[in-house]
Chains A and B, each alone.
Chain A
Amino acid sequence: MMFLTIIKVALKSLAANKLRSVLAMLGIIIGVWSVICALALAAGAHDSILKQISALGTNVLMIMPGERGSRGVMSGNWQNLKIEDASALLKITQVSHVAPVVRGSVQARYFNKNTHTSLLGTSATYFALRNFKVQYGRSLSDADCDAAARVAIIGPTTAKNLFGAEFTWGLDQLVEVNGVAYRIIGILLAKGDQGWFNPDDQVIIPFSTAMHQVLGITYLQEIDVSAQDESRLTEIEQKATVILRRRHHLFGDAVDDFNIHNMADVLDTASTINKVLSGLLGGIAGISLLVGGIGVMNIMLVTVAERTREIGIRKAIGARQRDILRQFLIESVVMAATGGIVGVALGIATAKAITAAQSTFALVVRPWSVVLAIVFSAGVGIFFGYYPARRAAKLDPIEALRYE
């Protein structure tokens, strides 16, 4: 019998028992629906983590003061990273940029506008290193740092808070930071909120100014190092360790009094966690798809029992076992695949609706997950349809014809 004819026959017999077919499909629909949503959730989480980490720069080593103690707790001296350490790291040949970092929390005021924001003291290299771009005005210069100038670059959110929505006129204005006047020399290009930290809401000033005039400290809180080539990060990490140990007079078994974070490692870890997450979510959702398959099998068994006489008639007029097998197999595959397509449609609609309803996280439906879901549900149709179909095919025509 021709393939199209069998599909038509299958659709016809599914249509003959609409309620029953829909109920059997429901299991598949819900299964595929949850698979699509779960994978979309994992994919959305992956994209957002990736975006946040990339925004920080993946080509970066972060050197923090303090020992990496047992169980990840950091302890020891917090004041041993010096600006000279940063200069020394610049001698590593594979390094492209080194930026000293100090942070604080400050009050910024422009006449009657007041905002609480974070302070970042660094050098001109930080912007290239961390993918920050100055949209209006200029960036920090080496001269600013050497002179410990009272100049500041602010994020667009801070600018909005101080100068209103049309904040570009704020350039060259004097803003009080913890009571001291700073000239605004630049406004950053917006990067977008990253959840734990908003890079658009900060004041960036020369590290020298920050250390000596705002925070009153002589040490650095972080040194950022970028590589000329991302593949050299590990090499740089090793060389930096050697240099810093020598500079800090650590010999033999002495524990490092600093620790180095590799952003590429962080990215790897995040990816791994995400793979586990999507496997877990997809797996749980897949189980419901399997349960849906059992529903299909149940209905197909009922259908075969009910249509015993029809099977007998078809055999009497010349249907071979494989004709009967194919007929019922296609029926269950059509049922499962239809359920799969409906489930995918519902899943995509749900993902769109949830993404549109809030802005915290997005659900991203990847094309491969759609293909996977439909192929998998058709596979469920074959797997769970095979036994009932085989049972139909093996029926004895004489017995089947006698069946009332």
Chain B
Amino acid sequence: MIRAEHLRKFYELGETTVHALDDVSVRIAAGEMVAIRGPSGSGKSTLMNILGCLDRPDAGTYELAGEDVSTLDVDELAEVRNRHVGFIFQTFNLLPRLTALENVELPIQYAGGYRARQRARQSLELVGLGDRMRHQPNQLSGGQRQRVAIARAMANDPGILLADEPTGNLDSRTGEEVLQLFKSLHCQGRTVIIVTHDSAVSRHCQREIYLRDGQVVAAPSPEAAVLMGGGA
């Protein structure tokens, strides 16, 4: 599903060059549920942006669903995001003026709008919000908002769900519910990637890719993590 080889990404910060990603290779098979974990500044956001086709690597190749996407232009990348990637954000990122249903319709409309309303409704029913379709985001609880966001991410039935700290703004109980939702989606055969700094979250996943200083390293044991001041 995902084959990223030798990804590099630099940022110029004044005089110095920051290696956000320094020779990162990642392979994720279809249907896997994987956590990308690391302390802040480890490059996990950069990796997520590249895996989610929001950004392009400065070097390395990236193959998504059998297609080399590292050479695509911005509009082609937008189409890949639209078809293959469903984003879920820490702050939900729903459009405040639209209803839950309209929010979920958006990616379908950008894909061409075929039966948008009906497909958006199905997607919302899948996350258990069939009775909240006409609500605006500010009329919904945090957990409900995140479920709307998940419904939106799945609206075009993408191969990958890419979640960035999906439980970060939720209390532990609703966070647990959202993670359970991801698990059930994973059980239905979807690829789920969760970016987090929280080992409690990554424990729900089948495996974990641990990043530090822009490189993939073996995950530290919980004890070491405590000593290093990172992780949970």
Q: Tell me the nearest residue of chain A to B55, going by C-beta.
A: A398
Q: Is the CB of A318 within 8 A of B111?
A: yes
Q: Tell me the nearest residue of chain A to B80, going by C-beta.
A: A318
Kindly state whether residue B29 has any CB partner on chain A within 8 Å.
no
Q: Which of A2, A309, A310, A319 contacts B78 (CB 8 A)?
A: A319
Q: Which of B79, B87, B113 contacts A316 (CB 8 A)?
A: B87
Q: Which of A12, A316, A318, A398 contacts B93 (CB 8 A)?
A: A316
Interface size class of B (residues with CB under 8 A): 20 to 34
Q: Tell me the nearest residue of chain A to B158, going by C-beta.
A: A318
Q: Is the CB of A321 within 8 A of B113?
A: no
Which chain B residues lie closer than 8 Å to A310 at the CB level? 95
B22-52 with Cβ < 8 A to chain A: 49, 52
Q: Is the CB of B54 within 8 A of A398?
A: yes
Which chain A residues lie closer than 8 Å to B74 at the CB level? 320-321
Write the nearest CB–CB distance from A202 to chain B, whole angstroms. 73
Q: Tell me the nearest residue of chain B to A319, going by C-beta.
A: B110
A321 to B76 alpha-carbon distance, docked (Å): 10
Q: Is the CB of A316 within 8 A of B83?
A: no
A367 to B52 alpha-carbon distance, docked (Å): 54
Which chain B residues lie closer than 8 Å to A312 at the CB level? 93
Kindly state whether residue A46 has any CB partner on chain B within 8 Å.
no
A139 to B4 alpha-carbon distance, docked (Å): 105
Kindly state whether residue B169 has any CB partner on chain A within 8 Å.
no
Q: Is the CB of B87 within 8 A of A317?
A: yes
Q: Mark A310-326, 1 if CB is under 8 A from B, else 0.
A: 10111111111111000
Q: Is the CB of A313 within 8 A of B95?
A: yes
Interface size class of A (residues with CB under 8 A): 20 to 34
Q: Is the CB of A323 within 8 A of B55?
A: no
A180-208 with Cβ < 8 A to chain B: none
Q: Is the CB of B54 within 8 A of A314?
A: no
A16 to B97 alpha-carbon distance, docked (Å): 8
Q: Is the CB of A317 within 8 A of B113?
A: no
A199 to B182 alpha-carbon distance, docked (Å): 93
Q: Which of A13, A309, A316, A323 contacts B81 (CB 8 A)?
A: A316
A318 to B113 alpha-carbon distance, docked (Å): 12
Kindly state whether residue B136 has any CB partner on chain A within 8 Å.
no
Which chain A residues lie closer than 8 Å to B78 at the CB level? 315, 318-321, 323
Q: Is the CB of B113 within 8 A of A5?
A: yes
Q: Is the CB of A321 within 8 A of B75?
A: yes
Q: Mark B155-184, 1 if CB is under 8 A from A, else 0.
A: 010000000000000000000000000000
Kindly state whether residue B106 has any CB partner on chain A within 8 Å.
yes
B105-146 with Cβ < 8 A to chain A: 106-107, 109-111, 113
Which chain B residues lie closer than 8 Å to A316 at the CB level? 52, 54, 81, 87, 93
Write the nearest CB–CB distance from A159 to chain B, whole angstroms. 73
Kindly state whether residue B82 has any CB partner on chain A within 8 Å.
yes
A401 to B109 alpha-carbon distance, docked (Å): 20
Kindly state whether residue A1 has any CB partner on chain B within 8 Å.
yes
Q: Which of B55, B82, B97 contacts A317 (CB 8 A)?
A: B82
Which chain B residues lie closer than 8 Å to A321 at the CB level? 74-75, 78
B64-91 with Cβ < 8 A to chain A: 74-75, 78-79, 81-83, 87, 89
Which chain B residues lie closer than 8 Å to A1 at the CB level? 109-110, 113
Q: Tell me the nearest residue of chain B to A394, going by C-beta.
A: B74
A187 to B111 alpha-carbon distance, docked (Å): 80
Q: Mark A283-320, 1 if CB is under 8 A from B, else 0.
A: 00000000000000000000000000110111111111
Kindly state whether residue A397 has any CB partner on chain B within 8 Å.
yes
Q: Is the CB of B54 within 8 A of A397?
A: yes
Q: Tell me the nearest residue of chain A to B109, going by C-beta.
A: A1
Q: Is the CB of B152 within 8 A of A317?
A: yes
A397 to B93 alpha-carbon distance, docked (Å): 13
Which chain B residues lie closer than 8 Å to A313 at the CB level? 93-95
A321 to B74 alpha-carbon distance, docked (Å): 8
Write the nearest CB–CB distance from B7 to chain A, whole angstroms. 16
Most chain B CB atoms below 10 A, which of A315, A316, A321, A397: A316
A397 to B111 alpha-carbon distance, docked (Å): 18
Q: Is the CB of A322 within 8 A of B81?
A: no
Q: Which of A2, A16, A315 contacts B109 (CB 8 A)?
A: A2
A6-23 with Cβ < 8 A to chain B: 12-13, 16
Write the nearest CB–CB distance from B82 to chain A, whole angstroms. 2
A319 to B112 alpha-carbon distance, docked (Å): 11
Which chain B residues lie closer than 8 Å to A5 at the CB level? 109, 113
Q: Which of A317, A322, A401 contacts B75 (CB 8 A)?
A: A322
Write the nearest CB–CB distance from B18 to chain A, whole angstroms. 15
A97 to B74 alpha-carbon distance, docked (Å): 80
Write the nearest CB–CB distance from B161 to chain A, whole angstroms. 13
Which chain A residues lie closer than 8 Å to B110 at the CB level? 1, 314, 317-320, 323
Which chain B residues lie closer than 8 Å to A16 at the CB level? 97
Which chain A residues lie closer than 8 Å to B106 at the CB level? 314, 317
A16 to B79 alpha-carbon distance, docked (Å): 29
A320-347 with Cβ < 8 A to chain B: 320-323
Q: Tell me the nearest residue of chain A to B110, going by C-beta.
A: A318
A152 to B95 alpha-carbon distance, docked (Å): 86
Chain B residues within 8 Å of A, Cβ to Cβ: 49, 52, 54-55, 74-75, 78-79, 81-83, 87, 89, 93-95, 97, 106-107, 109-111, 113, 152-153, 156
Can you offer 15 A-B residue contacts whose CB atoms are under 8 A? A313-B94, A315-B81, A316-B87, A316-B93, A317-B107, A318-B81, A318-B111, A318-B156, A319-B82, A319-B110, A320-B75, A322-B75, A398-B49, A398-B55, A401-B93
8 nearest interchain CB pairs?
A318-B82, A320-B75, A318-B110, A317-B107, A320-B78, A1-B109, A313-B93, A2-B113
